[in-house]
Chains A and B, each alone.
Chain A
Amino acid sequence: MSDFVTLTIDGKEVKAPVGSTVLEAAKLAGIHIPTLCYLKGVNEIGACRMCVVDVGAKSLQAACMYPVAEGLKVVTNSPEIRESRRVTLELILSSHEKKCLSCVRSRNCELQKLARDLNIQDIRFEGAEQNFPIDDLSHSIVRDPNKCILCRRCVSVCKYIQTVSAIETVDRGYKTIVASPFHMPLRDTPCVNCGQCIVACPTGALREKSSIEKVWDALGNEDLYVIVQTAPAVRAALGEEFGLPIGTPVTGKMVSALKKLKFDKVFDTDTAADLTIMEEGTELVNRIKNNGKLPLITSCSPGWIKFCEHNFPDMLDNLSTCKSPHEMFGAMLKSYYAEKMGIDPSKIFVVSVMPCTAKKFESKRSELASTGYPDVDEVITTRELAEMIKEAGIDFVNLEDEKFDDPMGEATGAGVIFGATGGVMEAALRSVPYLLTGKDPEQVEIKAVRGEDGIKTAELEVAGIKIRAAVAHGLGNARKLLEKVRSGEETYHFIEIMACPGGCVTGGGQPIQPASVRNEIDLRTERAKAIYQEDESSTMRFSHHNPTVQKFYEEYLGEPGGHKSHELLHTHYIVRENYPEDCVCDPQ
């Protein structure tokens, strides 16, 4: 049997793989069919009826679900089809809260775009006003059900990709709403704050909890010394907010913009990523040498950390005690840097620009305040930084490149690749040989841990020690991997886990690309290219070569894993029950 079938779409013959859908076949033929709920690999359920086509059946069929067949004749554009799509969309719009002017997704809203694409001039139906309460109690995520169109993309990504299942479609008919069990606020659920629901949402029903005003206030407060640090993945995607092609690295322009926003210092979180490698690498070497708890699992991803606390409480001892890089950096700024510069740490305000919504929650964890002050005061996402740049009227695209400030702006290529899945692992494996033998490895790049496979493994031998390593990204993959580790089916020395599929480059705080883009290209690969480019062009590619990090140890910390390091750079975790018994949410 042939692997292909031949069908006709709008009179054009198309050869499509067996098992593909009419929508996919139409794409091969260069024919565009509008979609709304469809998000490739995440949500393919035919719920919104926007992609209806005529396949010669009694009624119109959803192209995203309908399988191709030999000799099938498909019509994608007829008066009946156009009217059907229009009526459906008008009905969706009839109860949608149409506050587009002040909506965070205005101009990047898939519903808004579709209304234009389908030439909706008037909404013939007036739906009853929905008046659901907005849930803004989480530190990371705000849910506004009045803007929800029930496409279920958020539910699918939460349930099937992340296996978190904090939200579900609840109730029925007109009262249907996406909500947590018993309409609890997200804060009280096992939500890990990864924000993948936000980047999956076609409308403004999900957004990050904004910290923009707090940052503006700090910048306007003359008593405060406001320091900003930026994560590696931010530079790989920020340009998209200003119309630059996906995968354009904009490090220099970003630094320049931050200086224009009047931050007192602009530092690079990558410096702290190098510091993390020294601490975590040392932790790994110590655990291997001293028969400590293995596998050691990375702790950079706060979404993963909360997931572990909820779902794998028996494995908390496997987590590296290292704080995530930006928290380490915050602690260093409020101790070492404050002392060196003679600034009162209470006057230092640290802002982290992160590709991540979970970092917002993380920064509010009470244990992350080594100096008596929060290590990091506020976290803004890549999207929020773009909003600030736009609000300040900065012409981002035409900015001259500038460099991070000294002395905490120096970073290596190893620090940069933290932004892609496998990056922390690779950076660590570049330095572990040095930590064991005092010599650099011959091979810099470790390609086995790169790429988009959900679970990647590698084995390497250093100074006679075999190190078995595994990398998982996306919490569904993490769950699969850890269940094997838990059961003893697989054994590893070192595991990297990132909550978001693709790692930080496709984090929940990154610029939102609509389904029309995500269905076509692999955002993860494109953005990761920018990261690996920066690594390749770095003169320093080993974390332990970073002179700033070396100075940290010489002048202040002593040695990696030493007493001072533990005080400032390490943390602990707590067991979290999924729905605590006394969390009484009476459904009244």
Chain B
Amino acid sequence: MGVCCCKDSKEQKLDEIIARYKGTRGALIPVLHEAQEIYGYLPMSVQKRIAEGLNVSLADVYGVVTFYTQFSLEPKGKYKINVCLGTACYVKGSGAILDKLSQILKIKSGQCTKDGLFSLDACRCVGACGLAPVMMINDDVYGRLTPDDIPGIIKSYRDKEAEAV
């Protein structure tokens, strides 16, 4: 199956969602949620389609997308890194963990690497304060981290990818 075909099916799904909600009050946020599930993020083209479909302005849509932290303007990586900046992790130095990741991956928090492998985000408490500072990569939890641990962890994922090829 080609890439185009895949894109079309995403667009078709989005149009179905819009059609389902059209005309209902307060439709924008649920539509954005479902759209993000399809695309992984909310690029301009998707927001435009939603704005046109729901008959609201693009400014309205963009205002809502940027207000709520769940909505992302950036694609997410295959491996989604979330660094906890909750109180306990923060005082245990998770800020330095985030900086280290940012430095190694050459992206800022909220962004995704060019190869699409890693995306980096800060998050609030993940409920593992005993392990502070904590980060998660997809569903795996890494605790009691120091910045020196980071290169090895990232490398392990890169190696896994290299093996898979």
Contact = CB atoms under 8 A, between A and B. Distances in A.
A282 to B, nearest CB: 38
Interface string B73-98: 11000000000000000000000000
Nearest to B59: A168
B55 to A, nearest CB: 11
Interface stretch (A131-139, A169-177, A233-241): A169-177
B66 A180 contact: no
Contacts of A170: 62-63, 66-67
Contacts of B57: 159, 165, 168
Nearest to A585: B44
B47 to A, nearest CB: 7
Interface in A124-180: 159, 165-172, 180
Interface centre among B47, B62, B74, by most A CB within 10 Å? B62
Contacts of A168: 57, 59-60, 62-63
Contacts of A181: 44, 47, 58-59, 61-62
Interface centre among B47, B48, B59, B74, by most A CB within 10 Å? B59
A216 interface: no
Interface string A568-588: 000000000011010001011
A180 B45 CA distance: 15
Nearest to A163: B57
Contacts of B45: 581
A182 interface: yes
A33 B60 CA distance: 32
Interface in A168-226: 168-172, 180-182, 189
Interface in B31-73: 44-45, 47-48, 57-63, 66-67, 73
A578 B66 contact: no
A180 B74 CA distance: 18
Contacts, number: 43
Contacts of B73: 587
Nearest to B111: A588
Nearest to A170: B66
Interface centre among A166, A168, A172, A189, by most B CB within 10 Å? A168
Nearest to B68: A172
Contacts of A189: 59
Interface residues of B, number: 16
B60 A165 contact: yes
Contacts of B61: 181
Contact of A578 (B58, B67, B74): B58
Nearest to B67: A172
A255 to B, nearest CB: 42
A166 B59 contact: yes
Contacts of A169: 63
B67 A180 contact: no
B63 A579 contact: no
Contact of A165 (B47, B48, B59, B66): B59
Interface centre among B61, B66, B67, B111, by most A CB within 10 Å? B66
A168 B61 CA distance: 9
Contacts of B74: 587
A587 B60 CA distance: 17
A150 to B, nearest CB: 13
Contacts of A165: 57-60
Contacts of A581: 45
A189 B60 CA distance: 13
Given A578-B58, A579-B58, 7 more contacts: A165-B59, A168-B59, A171-B66, A172-B66, A181-B47, A579-B48, A587-B74
Interface of B: 44-45, 47-48, 57-63, 66-67, 73-74, 111
Interface of A: 159, 165-172, 180-182, 189, 578-579, 581, 585, 587-588
Pairs of residues from A and B, 5 with the lowest C-beta to C-beta distance, nearest first: A165-B57, A168-B59, A181-B62, A168-B63, A181-B58
18 contacts: A159-B57, A159-B59, A165-B58, A165-B60, A167-B59, A168-B60, A168-B63, A169-B63, A171-B66, A171-B67, A172-B66, A172-B67, A180-B59, A181-B44, A181-B61, A181-B62, A189-B59, A579-B48
